[in-house]
Structure 1
Amino acid sequence: MDSEDGVSKAEEFVYRISTANEWEELQKNGSVFGGELDKSSGFIHLSNLHQVQATLQNFFLNTKVDLYLLQIDAKKTLVKNLK
C-alpha cells in the first residue's frame, strides 16, 4: 500500500549495515563515510529491506565484528533518487 506521497511502505526506509566501529564514529562525530567498500567506490551503500539478507551474505559473511542494521528514513536524506 502506498502512503500519501505515493511512496510504498517498503520504500520509506533504506538500510545500512555498519560495523560497531562505524556506529561509534557516527555517534561521536555525527557523520561517517562508511567502510572500505564505501571509501574505495565513493558511495555510501544502502539496501532496501528485501536486499538486506543478500547484502549480509555477499559482503559480511565472514565478518568477525559486531554489525548494526541502521534504518534510515528515505524522506530525510539529501538524495531525492536513491539507487
Structure 2
Amino acid sequence: MSPTAFKILTQEEWQRLNAEGTFEGTPVDLADGYIHLSAPDQVAETAAKHFAGRDDLVLVEVDLAKLEGVKWEHSRGGQLFPHVYGALPLTAVIRAEPL
C-alpha cells in the first residue's frame, strides 16, 4: 500500500482546510463516517466517476503516516481504498495542485 494518498477537494474546501488547519470532510465523507481518499492509481477513476465536468478542483496529496485512523478498506470494484476515520490536518498535506 502506498505511503501517500490523494483527496480531491473543491477550491472552497481547500480554502477551508487552509484557513482552519483541519478538514472534517465533504458531505459524502460526513455521511459515510470517514474521509474518502484514493491511492495514486485510483485518482483518475475517482475524478471521472465523482467529479466529471468540474473545473474548481484541487488534488491534495496526503502523507498517510501523519494521520490517525487510516484504514484500507474494500470499496469500488473490491479495490482497497484508504479511509480516514477522523479529521484531515493541514500538516499531513504534502502538496496541492489544480486538477
1:26 corresponds, among 17, 25, 30, to: 17
Q: Deviations over 1:16-67 (max 9, x none)?
A: 111111111111111112222112212100000000000001100032x411
Structure in which a larger fraction of residues adopt strand: 2
In the superposition, the TM-score normalised over structure 2's length comes to 0.66
Give the alignment's Cα RMSD to 1 decimal. 1.6
**Any runs of at least 4 consecutive aligned residues in structure 1 with deviations exceeding 6 A, and if so which?**
none
How high is the TM-score relative to the length of structure 1?
Answer: 0.77
Structure 1: state its 5+ residue gaps.
Answer: 1-7
Contact 1:34–1:44 (CA<8 Å) still a contact in 2? yes
How much identity, in percent, do the aligned residues show? Answer: 30
Q: Describe how 1:13-52 pairs up with structure 2 within 5 A.
A: 13-52=4-43
Matched positions, count: 73
Query: Aligned letter for 2:35?
Result: I
1:37 maps to a residue whose letter is V
Alignment partner of 1:68 is 2:58? yes
